[in-house]
Structure 1
Amino acid sequence: MLPALPTAPPRPRRSFLQRGLINQCICLGISVPFWLLSHRGSAYWMTLTYSMVIGNLIWLFIDGSRQLTIRLLGDKAANKGQWPGWGSMGLTIVLGSLAGYQLGTMLVDRLLGLRSASIFDAVTPGVVTLLVAGSMTYFFWSRERLHAEMAAAEAARRLALENQLKLLESQLEPHMLFNTLANLRVLIGLDPPRAQAMLDRLIAFLRATLNGSRNGSHTLRAEFDRLADYLALMAVRMGPRLTVQFDLPDDLRERLVPPLLLQPLVENAIKHGLEPKVEGGRIEVRAERDAGRLRLTVRDTGIGLAQAAALTPNADGSGYGTSHVRERLAALFGEQARFELAGASGPEGGTLATLLLPLPPTAAAPASSATAT
């Protein structure tokens, strides 16, 4: 039996055309030595005509018989990668070679007014024809096997990538929830009425976020909406110490991004930048095009990276949230994406987190929602 090919999306028409194109090249290559060895006294185009007609008929007989065998075997052949066993293919090669050689010779003889020896009358043409037909069939089988194995390897890589991303996202959501509950716990002791308002906000935020974050992607509009919900939740605790500014151009609102992509950066801006600062400050979340790519930035006017690192370990960008951002970008986009965390320029200081990634596609059916600005 021929070894089973790994499962791969079948593209029969494209594969058929590729085999046909390769077969033309092989027929052309075979015509040259045949002319040099057997028909040097005749015009080359005559040998080329014999080679092209006979070679294509043999290929069509063998390939057509293979396709017919696949249809007759049904699912059994499909499980073997669209190639029957050695027994069926061997018989197909022999019969297809004989039929193609005889019919091709007869057609070209009539066209040119010549008379060629039958394949049964001369051993050499028959042996050469069978060897070439068998070699071509093995080449096509090996080539499609290689492509199928590459497709299977790519499918396995994508599955591993999806599982990795799901693991990262499943870890990120409890991390976000833990930070919020920790803030709520502090507020309960300081101001119970505000803690109650914060709890109500938390319930509404979780209802809107947890279901949506189970998708592989959502729109930038939805990402900004969730950030607006989260920052409204933080505003209950911080009061006037927190101001928020969003900048999301209309032409980017329906672009698809991974869910909770900016959430860890906003959490870091609150925890390491604004909360330690007595007077608080401002968080700016911006999306913009940058030379055909998407640039996302989260800026805070907090205490800055150096002072934050002195107060809190891992506040310099090596912590849990930022490492998740880096890992997700690397898994999704590889070297096409970049993440930077640096001190913000200007008199207000603070920290600037920047994501630069390939411009994502637009959602097919955008849902209506209003983003806070």
Structure 2
Amino acid sequence: MTSALAEWLFAWLPAASRPGALRRLAAVWTIAPAIALVLWGNNTKTHPLDISLVYSFAISTSIWLLSDPMRIRLGAWLRVGPPHFWAFTPRVGLYMLGCSTLGYVLGTLVGDAYAGRSTWDMLSQSPARLLGFWVSGLVFSGLFVLGFYQRAQAEDLKRQATEARLKLLETQLEPHMLFNTLANLRALIQTDPPRAIHMLDRLNDYLRATLKASRTDVASGGHTLADEFARLHDYLELMAVRMGPRLAYSLALPDGLQGHPLPPLLLQPLVENAIRHGLEPQVDGGTVAVSARTEGTGSLVIEVNDTGAGMDTSAPPAAPSDSGFGLAQVRERIACLPGAGRVDVHSAPGQGTRITLTLPLLNPVSPA
């Protein structure tokens, strides 16, 4: 509900900044009644409370609109950028001062229209009082800006810590896959040199794609579902060299989801588990199918299905295994991502395994 409201209100802002803008508006509207009560009490209750409320909401909302969403919209001119569009520069400082002044004027005009009077009459009657109102508006605006800036800094630190944790998980997964592949390659060199050469070529393709992904910032959205499926294709081709006709696979990615951002190396451990622990133990092998789709208006669903040996999910494994390692890492990585994501496992001995990832649906970026 909140996400849909942010999308509707702030469609003219960058997608990643919309939820934050809505949260800050909610904070402004939460404080506005308290400010109205203070002003009403200081004026010895010479006018109805509803007038103070209108002035407070109109002024605070006007200042917020100019200093927050408009600051983001004018990010290129202000020379500030994502994720929070903040910078302590003279240009931004002058802009914020102008926002506070203009927002105060606009909000006062709205309040005057409601109250049926003109605040600007104080220019001749009591200029000092009018100046006091303006200064108090600047002070409140400054406190809001400082609070929002501190929150942005805290979110930056949290995001950096999350990215570092995701990178650490990637470094744990990469050797895991590489060592398994090198062991298979060593065996093929002794028994089937031509297939070993073919496998080495596929490994080279996979490592080239992996190197590219390792240089991609997780938060930038530079790694997409199309990139991840391309890596899965390289990996499955690599496994097909070793397993031959015992391995069949399919990859289904709709065109509309190709540009959807995804953390690198999120799906490969699940596919590796499907092959190593599902298909390889069977004489006839089996099939691995990976697909992506949308569900409703806010969910991305990715499924990894195999027709392998399956497993008993009702009881915990007796000892840690490679399968448990890969699935645990995927769960932990999804827990590090913003939004509510989950991993569901459906399996039974002899009936294969289906792993479903449910992630928030983001605005996809255009595929390269």
Q: Would you call these one fold, judging by a TM-score over 0.5?
A: yes
How far the C-alpha of 1:322 sits from its partner, in A, is 1.3
Report the equivalent of 2:6.
Answer: none
**Residue number among 10, 16, 29 corresponding to 2:40 in the alignment:** 29
Secondary structure of the residue aligned to 2:292 is strand
How far the C-alpha of 1:311 sits from its partner, in A, is 10
Q: Percent identity?
A: 46
Which structure 1 segments of 5+ residues have no match? Answer: 1-10, 36-43, 57-76, 84-102, 110-115, 120-124, 368-373
Corresponding letter in the other structure for 2:251 = F
How far the C-alpha of 1:142 sits from its partner, in A, is 4.1
The 5 Å alignment of 1:36-55 reads: none
Report the equivalent of 1:337.
Answer: 341
CA distance in 2, matches of 1:157, 1:283: 36
Report the equivalent of 2:230.
Answer: 225
Q: Which has the larger radius of gyration?
A: 1
Report the equivalent of 2:256.
Answer: 251
**Residue number among 278, 298, 319 corresponding to 2:304 in the alignment:** 298
- Over 3 Å counting, the alpha-carbon distance change for 1:78 and 1:207 in structure 2 is closer
How far the C-alpha of 1:320 sits from its partner, in A, is 2.1
Secondary structure of the residue aligned to 2:281 is coil
**Residue number among 360, 363, 371 corresponding to 2:362 in the alignment:** 360
The reply on whether 1:241 has 2:252 as its aligned counterpart is no
- Over 3 Å counting, the alpha-carbon distance change for 1:154 and 1:32 in structure 2 is same
Report the equivalent of 1:328.
Answer: 333
Structure 1 moving runs of 4+ over 6 Å = 21-24, 103-106, 132-137, 309-312
**Contact 1:306/1:316 (8 A) holds in 2:** no
How far the C-alpha of 1:148 sits from its partner, in A, is 2.4
How far the C-alpha of 1:306 sits from its partner, in A, is 3.6
How far the C-alpha of 1:271 sits from its partner, in A, is 1.0
CA distance in 2, matches of 1:144, 1:228: 48
Corresponding letter in the other structure for 1:338 = R
Report the equivalent of 1:171.
Answer: 172
CA deviations on 1:175-215 (whole Å, 9 max, x unpaired) are: 22222112212322332222222112211221233213421
CA distance in 1, matches of 2:341, 2:181: 29
**Contact 1:305/1:315 (8 A) holds in 2:** no
Report the equivalent of 2:17.
Answer: none
**Contact 1:305/1:342 (8 A) holds in 2:** no
CA deviations on 1:289-329 (whole Å, 9 max, x unpaired) are: 2223111111111111149x999954595x22112211111
**Contact 1:296/1:355 (8 A) holds in 2:** yes
Aligned CA RMSD, in angstroms, stands at 4.2
Corresponding letter in the other structure for 2:263 = P
CA distance in 1, matches of 2:122, 2:238: 86
Report the equivalent of 1:191.
Answer: 192
**Contact 2:311/2:348 (8 A) holds in 1:** no
Bigger RCO (CA 8 Å, 6+ sep): 1
CA distance in 2, matches of 1:344, 1:249: 29
CA distance in 1, matches of 2:292, 2:136: 57
- Over 3 Å counting, the alpha-carbon distance change for 1:133 and 1:198 in structure 2 is closer
- Over 3 Å counting, the alpha-carbon distance change for 1:176 and 1:27 in structure 2 is same
The 5 Å alignment of 1:47-196 reads: 107-109=123-125, 140-196=141-197
CA distance in 2, matches of 1:188, 1:328: 35
Secondary structure of the residue aligned to 2:337 is helix
Which structure 2 segments of 5+ residues have no match? Answer: 1-20, 60-87, 95-118
How far the C-alpha of 1:343 sits from its partner, in A, is 0.7
- Over 3 Å counting, the alpha-carbon distance change for 1:363 and 1:34 in structure 2 is closer
- Over 3 Å counting, the alpha-carbon distance change for 1:313 and 1:233 in structure 2 is farther
CA deviations on 1:209-233 (whole Å, 9 max, x unpaired) are: 3213421242222211211111111
TM-score normalised over the length of structure 2? 0.62
CA distance in 1, matches of 2:182, 2:167: 23
- Over 3 Å counting, the alpha-carbon distance change for 1:316 and 1:324 in structure 2 is closer
TM-score normalised over the length of structure 1? 0.61
How far the C-alpha of 1:280 sits from its partner, in A, is 0.8
Secondary structure of the residue aligned to 1:356 is strand
- Over 3 Å counting, the alpha-carbon distance change for 1:25 and 1:250 in structure 2 is same
CA distance in 2, matches of 1:310, 1:152: 41
**Contact 1:341/1:351 (8 A) holds in 2:** yes
- Over 3 Å counting, the alpha-carbon distance change for 1:351 and 1:150 in structure 2 is same
